[in-house]
Structure 1
């Protein structure tokens, strides 16, 4: 298995399962209602905010793989749209997962040389570090979602 294929496997694992943590985005969000997703716990981000945030970065990185400029900015990564229906909430999840699989398909095709190349600009590091970073970032927020979900579903 190439390095790129291994990265794609880990990227898929955090989104769809089959990783060491035995937790993934798809399963964690499968039974989360919009009401739960929007419920604030202390000063933490909501599950909705975290879901949008993760998808924002996946979409931004995917744009680069589609030969478009890197336009995402940290300051906009929590600017999610007003989601008022279960359908809109499920669409947000479905879009995140669809984009994650599409990005994984791009990742697994990278060569060893491409993994070493600058990710749009030297200041952002190389492809390897950015892909590894988005995997770490997703695991971090997955953990937050799992904890927030436990808090909200075990209140009673």
Structure 2
């Protein structure tokens, strides 16, 4: 198996269909959340919707680079989400996130292994591999938050 395929499978695992690391994945957890739960604020924690938007923001920004575009994302804008005011708004964000997750994994799978060792945009950002692994690590970090926030919301609404 090529390295790029192996890494793409790790991406699919966290986002779409895996159970090995967390015994669940984004898709499984997010599909069972209502828009009210997704936007429910607990203390000063980010909402589930905000965290979903945040990860999707980075996926889109890196996908743009994969497709030959510039790196235009900035941390300061990574939580600038339009308000979620209905189930349709939440479903749209969720659909975009799941679609972009699958596209991201597919793009990585098709990447020649040599590309993984090339500089990603600028030497200060490291290699493609470093950035893709960063997406995986960053995604698990926020996924843990989503799972805990979901548990707090469910406990509060019992």
Q: Place the TM-score, normalised by the shorter chain, in its bin.
A: over 0.9
Matches within 5 A, 1:39-54: 39-54=40-55
State the distance in 1 between where 2:104 and 2:17 align: 16
* Residue in 2 that maps onto 1:14: 14
State the distance in 2 between where 1:131 and 1:69 align: 16
Report the Cα offset of residue 143 of structure 1.
0.6
State the distance in 1 between where 2:113 and 2:52 align: 31
Report the Cα offset of residue 64 of structure 1.
0.8
**Structure 1 stretch 104-113 or stretch 88-97: which is displaced more?**
104-113
Gaps of 5+ in 2: none
* Residue in 1 that maps onto 2:127: 126
Report the Cα offset of residue 2 of structure 1.
1.1
Report the Cα offset of residue 42 of structure 1.
1.8
Map Cα deviations across residues 76-113 of structure 1 (whole Å, 9 max, x no partner): 00000122111111110110110111111110122221
* Residue in 2 that maps onto 1:109: 110
Matched, 1:145 2:110: no
Normalized against structure 2, the TM-score is what? 0.95
**8 A Cα contact 1:10 1:19, kept in partner:** no
Report the Cα offset of residue 22 of structure 1.
1.4
> How many residue pairs were aligned?
156
The runs of 4+ residues in structure 1 deviating greater than 3 Å are: none
State the distance in 2 between where 1:17 and 1:81 align: 28
Q: CA RMSD in A?
A: 0.9
